A = this chain, B = another copy of it.
Amino acid sequence: VREEDIIDLFYPDTAADLDDCARVEDDRIVTTDALVEGTHFRLDWSSPEDLAVKLWAVNLSDIAASGGEPDWCVLSLGLPPTIEPDFLRRFAAALRAELRRDDCRLVGGDTFRAPVLLLSLTLSGRLERSPREPPRYLGRQGARPGDSLYVSGEPGLSQLGYLYLAGERPPPADPEQDPQYLAAVHRHRRPEARLAWARILRRHSEVHAMMDVSDGLYPDLQRLAAASRSLLEIDWRRLPLPAVARERVAAHPQSSDDLTDAQWRELALTSGEELELLFAATPGLTFEFPCTEIGRVVAADASDPGIRLNGAPWPVPPRWFQHF
C-alpha cells in the first residue's frame, strides 16, 4: 500500500492540495505527526528527552513552515506493558518544557495499551493577524516562475546520524570526540523546528511558497513542484556542506572518514526530518539566518511538474526513490 493511495482513499477530492498543515479556519491551522517505536525510533538510540524534543519539533515545524504560531495540542500515548514510570516521568517533563518555551497548551489526550511505544501529537496553530491584512498562510502552492528556491541551514546531518546509529556507516575511531559524528547523531535525535526563521519569512511578501524538509529535500521538492504545478531546476553544486564537514576537511584533508562532496550532496537531497525551511521567493534575497539559494522555478503550469537536477553528471542513486 503506497502512502499516495491511502491519501486518495481518505481525501478523494483534495489529495492534490494536501499541505504541511490543514487550514481549518481563517486564522487557524492544524497538523498531526506520530513517532512509533520500531518505525521512527529505537529506545536504545533515543532518551525520553530526545523523543519529547523530536515529537514536539516535527509537529511545530509544520505549523512554523505554514506561517503559524503553536496554540494548543492533544497527546495520544500508546504504552507497552514494559513501560517504566521513570521513562514516562522524564518524557512528560521534557515535553512540558518544550511546550512552555513555545507557549503552547497541552489541553488533553488519550492513553492506551499498545504493543510498542506510540507518541502522537495533534497541534493547532494560529496565523498571524495584522490590522491591515488577512491572516497569511504559506503553503506549497504559490511558487512563481522566476522565483528562486531557498533552503535554510545545512540539510544532510540527520540521515548521516541515522547511518551511524544503524551501523550502515562505521563510526569514526573516537566518536565521542568527533564533531561530525556528534553533530550528526544529535541532529537525528533532536531536530530543531525553525520557528524563529519562519517568523522572519512569513513577514516577507517576497516569499510565495514554503514547506519544511521532513521526507528529504528531493521528495519534498517534488511535492512543492506538484502543488505549484511547476518545473524546478536545482543546482546540486549549491547545496551547502555542513560546517562540521568543511572544518573536518580543513583539519584532516586526508582522513579516510571523509564523505566526498557528491556523498554530502546526496545526503542533503535525501535526508528526512531535517525540519529546514524550503521556500520559493524573489531571487537574490538575503536573510539574517543561514540560507542558500539552490535553484529556481523555470516554468509554471508545467505539463510535467517536477525537478531537473543541474550540474550533471549527477549519479542519481536508485534508492532515492524508495524513501517514500
Interface residues of A (CB under 8 A from B): 1, 3, 5-7, 9-12, 18, 21-22, 24, 30-34, 36, 38-40, 71-72, 74-79, 83, 85, 88-89, 92-93, 95-96, 105-116, 118, 120, 122, 124
CA distance A106 to B83 in the complex (A): 32
The reply to whether B74 and A107 contact each other, CB–CB distance below 8 Å, is no
A101 CB, min distance to chain B CBs, angstroms: 16
Instruction: List residues of chain B with CB within 8 A of the CB of A79.
Output: 1, 6
CA distance A11 to B99 in the complex (A): 12
Instruction: List residues of chain B with CB within 8 A of the CB of A1.
Output: 79, 83, 85, 88
The reply to whether A30 and B74 contact each other, CB–CB distance below 8 Å, is yes
The reply to whether A32 and B115 contact each other, CB–CB distance below 8 Å, is no
Instruction: List residues of chain B with CB within 8 A of the CB of A89.
Output: 9
CA distance A108 to B124 in the complex (A): 12
A9 CB, min distance to chain B CBs, angstroms: 4
Contact of A108 among B21, B93, B115 (CB under 8 A): B21
Nearest to A3 among chain B residues (CB) is B111
The reply to whether B10 and A96 contact each other, CB–CB distance below 8 Å, is yes
CA distance A34 to B32 in the complex (A): 14
The reply to whether A118 and B78 contact each other, CB–CB distance below 8 Å, is yes
Report the 9 A-B pairs with minimum CB-CB distance, sorted nearest first: A22-B107, A9-B92, A22-B108, A122-B122, A39-B113, A32-B74, A32-B110, A24-B72, A10-B92
Nearest to A96 among chain B residues (CB) is B10
Instruction: List residues of chain B with CB within 8 A of the CB of A118.
Output: 78, 114, 118
With A32-B74, A85-B5 already in contact, the answer to whether A10 and B106 are too (CB < 8 A) is yes
A17 CB, min distance to chain B CBs, angstroms: 10
Instruction: List residues of chain B with CB within 8 A of the CB of A6.
Output: 77, 79, 88, 92, 111
A199 CB, min distance to chain B CBs, angstroms: 23
